[in-house]
Amino acid sequence: MTTSAQISVYPLRQEHLGPAIESVRSALEERGLTPQVGPMSTTVTGEIGIMFTALADAFAKAATNGQVVMTITISNACPVAS
């Protein structure tokens, strides 16, 4: 099943936001996904098993930089660009 996700990461008590955001992007790409990083969130589309594994990896990588909150909205109903 193909799913789409919108991911927002909020580094807490960290001087710079970029490292946590970059960790999320990198983790998604390492699983073969193509994240689209925007000014407020990152979106990505992929097969459900790969998506959930990549999201777990992304959170773990972001957390290595310090405390972090990650919000994720996942849908199997969002249109997918061909």
pTM (2 d.p.) = 0.89
Q: Which domains does the chain have, with CATH numbers?
A: 2-75 (3.30.70.930)
When comparing pLDDT for 59 and 17, which is higher? 59
CB 75 within 8 A of CB 36: no
- Taking CA atoms, 20 is separated from 35, 67, 79, in Å, by 14, 10, 28
Give all strands (DSSP E) within the chain, no chain letters: 2-11, 36-37, 42-47, 68-75
pLDDT class of 69 with cuts at 50, 70, 90: very high
65 pLDDT band, cuts 50/70/90, is confident
Helix (H, G, I), strand (E, B) or coil at 8: strand
